[in-house]
Structure 1
Amino acid sequence: MTTTSRKTALLLLDLQNEMVDPEGKIGGGGLAKVCAERNVVANAARALGAARERGLPVAHVRLGFRPDYADALSVAPRIEKLKQNKAAIAGTWGTEFPEPLTPKEGELLVTKQCVNPFFNTGLMNWLFANGVGHVVLGGVVTNLVVEMTTRAADDAGFAVTVLEDCCAAPNPDWHRFSVENIIPMFGSVSSVDAFVAGRG
């Protein structure tokens, strides 16, 4: 079955204030600057508008923890850094979205506590319940949540398309390596223009 014959959903991954705004505790470390240079928010907003016009299912995924981080299962060093900075605490500005990407009523909002958006969330069940067979992805960081989602979605039998110009990493080499070498093994790489034109 080709991607054109499968029901498509748009998943926007971690495009929240903490990541994409220069005032964000993660974005301020350089990610927001790269996002601005790549027009990630504006590009994602174009993709979101196209999905809404076509009546496609849309899910907004964000990273968000309890204030005490008791729900953070990972013991990786990056999580300790989040704790030290009190970053991505649910209910704060950092876990909300920039205005162009504000979820609308009827769109799924998923809060996760790890890289994989399918772990301990209802996202996978929501996709199956909506008859989705093809997921289109955009988000940050490319080599973390975007790559992880691509791998996990492929494992679950979904066709995957990554909108390269809706993604960014703080190190451009990480982004480039992921979209050129890793993601193509599990899905396809496309652009917002192609998605808007109905080709992705």
Structure 2
Amino acid sequence: MNALKHTALVLIGYQNDYFSPEGLLYKVIEESSRATGVLENTLSLLREQGENFGVVVNTPIHFTADYNELNEPIGILQVIKEQGAFKEGTFGAQIIPQLNEFNNFVKVVPGKRGLNAFSNTTLEKVLLERQITNIVFAGTVTSICIDSTARSAVDMGFKVTILEDCTSSRTQFEQNFYCDDIFPLYARVCHSSTL
């Protein structure tokens, strides 16, 4: 029996603006991404276990050209707007090409416009249709989109796991702080190899 049958792997932020050296926000997560090996570890997990999950979902963020969906943004959303990041149809908004080899089983759920991958998307519906009870999170930014989405998942009744080696933040200190002190308050934290 497949132990991951009722588990979803949810991918957040695997887009060029974060993970390509030409990306507008690459430098924001570069230090932490390099330290955790987030991309390499995620690709290894997908190659070794990807098809064993009940579903693997990618939740890219896209904005319209004028960012009219952002009403007086602050913080990271303000930075995204000022930098012109994640504009629909641009190089930066595209899903990183390294994920193309998994197109046969990764389901893209569009509509993410903010911090939480459940907002404005069909993510919850996709998970419930597949009788998912557990969600494993990978991606970036740990302290913002991963945290926001993971907390919502807990509120919806899902059991949550954060992969410390498949997530990255703005600094390594922030990454460690969330994995050591914040996530354990409501979720399981583990290395992808022990999943």
Q: TM-score, normalised by structure 1?
A: 0.87
Tell me what 2:42 maps to: 44
> Could you report, residue by residue, the CA deviation over 1:26-45 in whole angstroms, capped at 9, with x for unpaired residues?
11x34134313322111111
Segment of structure 1 superposing worse, 16-25 or 113-122: 16-25
CA distance in 2, matches of 1:137, 1:77: 23
Query: How do 1:82-161 residues align onto structure 2 when only pairs under 5 Å count?
Result: 82-102=80-100, 104-111=103-110, 112-161=112-161
Q: Following TM superposition, by how much is the alpha carbon of 1:124 offset from its aligned partner in structure 2, in angstroms?
A: 0.7
Distance 1:106 1:129 in 2: 16
Whole-Å separation in 1 of the counterparts to 2:82 and 2:163 = 32
Please give the residue correspondences for 1:24-103 in structure 2 after superposition, counting only pairs within 5 Å: 24-27=23-26, 29-54=27-52, 56-73=54-71, 75-102=73-100
Partner secondary structure for residue 59 of structure 2: strand
AA partner of residue 73 (structure 2): V
Tell me if structure 2 keeps the 8 A contact 1:40–1:167.
yes
> One-letter code of the match for 2:40?
A
Q: CA deviation at 1:21?
A: 1.9
1:188 & 1:31 partners in 2: Cα distance? 23
Give CA deviations for 1:88-139 in whole Å, capped at 9, x if unaligned. 1112211222232235145321231100000111001110111000011111
Per-residue Cα deviation, 1:138-168 (whole angstroms, up to 9, x for no partner): 1111111111122111110101111100011
Structure 1 residues 5 and 73: CA distance shift in structure 2, 3 A: same
Q: Which residue of 1 aligns with 2:170?
A: 170
Give the partner amino acid of 2:74: A
Task: Quote the residue 1:197 is aligned against.
Answer: none
Equivalent residues, number: 191
Displacement of 1:73 in angstroms is: 4.3
Deviations 1:158-194 (A, max 9, x none): 0111110001112112111111111111110011111
Give SS of 1:75's match.
coil
Question: 2:72, 2:46 → 1: CA distance?
Answer: 31
Seen in structure 2, the aligned counterparts of structure 1 residues 135 and 7 have a Cα distance that, compared at 3 Å, is same
Offset at residue 25 of structure 1 (A): 0.6
2:16 alignment counterpart: 17
Task: Quickly say closer, same or farther: Cα 1:90–1:51, change in 2 above 3 A.
Answer: farther
TM-score by length of 2: 0.89
Specify the code of the residue in structure 1 equivalent to 2:84: K
Percentage identity across paired residues of the two chains: 27
Deviation, 1:5, is: 8.3
Q: Residue type of the partner of 1:126?
A: V
